[in-house]
Amino acid sequence: MIEVDRVGRSFTVGRGRARRTVHAVRELSFTVGAGEFVGYLGPNGAGKSTTIKMLTGILAPTSGRLEVAGLDPTHRRTALARRIGVVFGQRTTLWWDLPLRDSFELVRHLYKVDRDDFRSRLAELAELLDLGGFLHTPVRQLSLGQRMRGDITAALLHDPSVLILDEPTIGLDVVSKAAMREFLRRLNAERGTTVLLTTHDLGDIEKLCRRIMLIDRGRLGFDGTLDDLRATAPGGDSLEDVVARLYTGEREPAPGG
Amino acid sequence: MARIYLLLAWTWLRASAQYPIPLVMMTLGSFVLNGLDVAAIWIIFEHTGSLGGFGLAEVMFLYGTAGMSFALADMLFGNVDRLSQHIRAGTFDAMLIRPVSAFVQMATDRFGVHRFGRLAQAAVVLGIALPRLDPPWSRLWMVPLMIGCGLVIFVSIFTIGGALQFLLTDAPEVSNAFTYGGSTLTQYPLTVYGGDLVRAVTFIVPLAFVNWQPALYVLGRDDPFGLPYGLRFAAPAAALALALAAALAWRTGIRRYRSTGS
């Protein structure tokens, strides 16, 4: 479903003498198969968002090859958009001034979703995510939790085979988080939707992700199951300690290097 | 493309109808504000019989045609030069993950009735000028054509200005010099400007084809700068060339897009 082959992305920052090249992602390679649920971890600035933006076609890679749902994101961005769902936890992709229901109707037209499919899917999602109370409220008046549920719904109305989520639980309260996780778990288990999510919330990882990839300074530092991840540390450590060690440990220079 | 444009514009229009009072105020405001332009022309003619060798009705004709082109371009696609705002707010990323042109999404963003104010004002001026000039019917066909070509030229300039903002996220004002500057420049006969400027807007940024060259044909005037007669019919070619350059600039810009942190 997702193939990343020696992908790099660099940015030129600063001007004049202070000009330098920053490698946000370098030589990154991984594949994600259909139906997987993958957590994509890494400290701030490690290259998570850059990866997500390349997978969705927002950013073009400077080197390497990408394929998502059978398409090259850079050259087939709008075609890819019909096959994937994307949710940014930090910002909405809904129309700020429109009532939620109007946003969904617009999504239906933009993604050319059949009217009957749309009705049944919206009814299903509205029930699962409990949208009934605020379908006619403008997006800007929604609480963060409500807005997030709206965003997820909008990303799933065209029934994408891949769902990419950038920090979907950020800022949510305990109850909303639990509901969101349960929804994503069922989506993956029952519909077989491939899910890739970035998060700083280890609860998301423990509850949801059968596979974990950890990126640090633009490279893949770990790729395996939750148990593999725990096994990298001596027994008794909490998951938080394990991840913190991976984040900081790899920042120390290698011996002799 | 056109269907998506209408759909998005209609959705925004409906959303904006929730606030009817600011809507009416903005439409009226833009009508009145642009009306001041015409008042300025009127005052000039109170003191002198001609402006750059052109009479009042002729100047109003130039003003009205350029105004129609610019107002239509601004109404339909003027938002494209707000790109840097969308980049900074991160809303441009949201446009890129949808399966329709980001350009159309930009153009229709917050589409509202207030965009009609300027158009109405320019139409009124043209409506006053045309009967006074009474140009021969055999030349009138040029009027809709020149407004159409002017529209394409201004949309292209807006697009190039937007595309530049992929590089200059902090300097959207640079493009304003060409869009709003171009609109003001074309309101008057080019004879009020120097010859170098006229050559520049004929051969570099083709603003002379928005109204000046085709207007010389409609009004049956000699070119005060002695440029070839055929240029009067070159507006479609100039518009097409600029539109191609604009499309290329936009595509290149999207490829080089860097997004924001986080």
Q: What are the structural domains, with CATH classification, of chain A?
A: 35-61+78-248 (3.40.50.300)
Band (A255; pLDDT cuts 50, 70, 90): very low
Domain, as residue range, for B223: 22-256
Cβ pairs A/B, distance under 8 A: 70
Q: How far apart are the first and last CA of chain B?
A: 31
Determine the Cα–Cα distance for residues B12 and B113; give it in Å rounded to an integer: 10
Tell me the average pLDDT across A4-30.
87
CB contact under 8 A, A110 and B259: no
Q: Does B13 fall in a domain?
A: no
Band (A249; pLDDT cuts 50, 70, 90): low
Please count the CA atoms within 13 angstroms of the CA of A154 that sit on its side-chain side.
Answer: 31
Residue found under tokens 């429109």: A98
CB contact under 8 A, B97 and A93: yes
Residue A212: which of A129, B97, A201 has the closest Cα? A201
Does the pLDDT of residue A256 top 50, yes or no?
Answer: no
Closest CB to A102 among B11, B96, B255: B11
Collapse the DSSP code of B252 into the 3-class scheme (helix H, G, I; strand E, B; otherwise coil) and give the result. helix
Determine the Cα–Cα distance for residues B261 and B53; give it in Å rounded to an integer: 56
What is the model's pLDDT at position B49? Answer: 80
What is the model's pLDDT at position B172? Answer: 67
CB atoms within 10 A of CB B144: 11
* Strand A2-13, strand A20-32: pairing: antiparallel
Q: Does B220 fall in a domain?
A: yes
Contacts of B240 (CB under 8 A, 6+ apart): B152
Does the pLDDT of residue A100 top 80, yes or no?
Answer: yes
What is the model's pLDDT at position B170? Answer: 67
Closest CB to B99 among A74, A81, A93: A81
What is the model's pLDDT at position A116? Answer: 95
Q: Does B262 fall in a domain?
A: no
Collapse the DSSP code of A199 into the 3-class scheme (helix H, G, I; strand E, B; otherwise coil) and give the result. coil
Q: Which of B98, B251, B252, B259 is the best residue to mutate to test the A interface, defined by the most A CB atoms within 10 Å of its own CB?
A: B98
pTM (predicted TM-score): 0.86
Which residues in chain A touch residue B14, judged by CB atoms under 8 angstroms apart?
A: 102
% of chain A surpassing 70 pLDDT: 95
Strand order in the sheet with A20-32: A20-32, A2-13, A63-68
Contact of A73 with chain B, judged by CB distance below 8 Å, is answered with no
Band (A254; pLDDT cuts 50, 70, 90): very low
CB contact under 8 A, A88 and B94: yes
Closest CB to B97 among A56, A60, A74: A56
Please give, rounded to a whole number of angstroms, the shortest distance from the CA of B3 to a CA of chain A.
10
Question: Which pLDDT tens digit goes with each residue over A65-92?
Answer: 999 999 999 999 999 999 999 998 888 8
Tell me the average pLDDT across A109-115.
93
CB contact under 8 A, A110 and B255: no
Max Cα-Cα span within chain A: 65
Collapse the DSSP code of B180 into the 3-class scheme (helix H, G, I; strand E, B; otherwise coil) and give the result. helix
Q: Which of A75, A78, A151, A162 is the best residue to mutate to test the B interface, defined by the most B CB atoms within 10 Å of its own CB?
A: A78
User: Is the CB of residue A101 less than 8 Å from the CB of residue A123?
Assistant: no
Name the more confident of B114 and A44: A44
Q: Does B98 fall in a domain?
A: yes
What is the model's pLDDT at position A108? Answer: 93
- DSSP state letter for A141: G
Q: Does B195 fall in a domain?
A: yes
User: Is the CB of residue A51 less than 8 Å from the CB of residue A38?
Assistant: no
Band (A227; pLDDT cuts 50, 70, 90): confident
Residue B256: which of A58, A237, A135, A145 has the closest Cα? A58
Determine the Cα–Cα distance for residues B218 and A143; give it in Å rounded to an integer: 59
C-alpha pair distances (Å), B209 with each of A67, B41, B87, B139: 46, 22, 32, 16
Q: Does B4 fall in a domain?
A: no
User: Is the CB of residue B99 less than 8 Å from the CB of residue A110?
Assistant: yes
Residue B9: which of A77, A106, A12, A60 has the closest Cα? A106
Collapse the DSSP code of A40 into the 3-class scheme (helix H, G, I; strand E, B; otherwise coil) and give the result. strand
Closest CB to A60 among B7, B255, B262: B255
Which residues in chain A touch residue B261, judged by CB atoms under 8 angstroms apart?
A: 49
A219's enclosing H/E stretch is strand A219-224
Which residues in chain A touch residue B5, judged by CB atoms under 8 angstroms apart?
A: none
What is the model's pLDDT at position B261? Answer: 62
Which residues in chain B touch residue A76, judged by CB atoms under 8 angstroms apart?
A: none
Question: Which pLDDT tens digit goes with each residue over A124-152?
Answer: 999 989 898 999 998 889 998 899 999 99
DSSP string, B103-157: HHHHHHTT--GGGGHHHHHHHHHHHHHHHHH---HHHHTHHHHHHHHHHHHHHHH
Determine the Cα–Cα distance for residues A92 and B160; give it in Å rounded to an integer: 28
Total domains present in chain B: 1
Number of helices followed by number of strands (H, E) in chain B: 13, 0
Please give, rounded to a whole number of angstroms, the shortest distance from the CA of A57 to a CA of chain B.
7
What is the model's pLDDT at position A253? Answer: 44
CB contact under 8 A, A106 and B15: no
Band (A29; pLDDT cuts 50, 70, 90): very high
Q: Does B133 fall in a domain?
A: yes
B-side interface with A, Cβ within 8 Å?
Answer: 4, 7-8, 11-12, 14-16, 18, 90-91, 93-94, 96-101, 110, 255-259, 261-262
pLDDT in tens, chain B (262 residues): 889 999 999 888 887 777 777 777 877 887 788 778 778 878 888 888 888 889 999 999 999 999 999 999 999 998 888 888 888 888 899 999 999 999 999 999 888 777 787 888 899 999 999 999 988 889 999 999 999 999 999 999 999 989 988 887 766 677 777 888 888 889 889 998 888 889 888 888 899 999 999 999 999 999 999 899 999 999 999 999 999 999 999 999 998 888 876 5
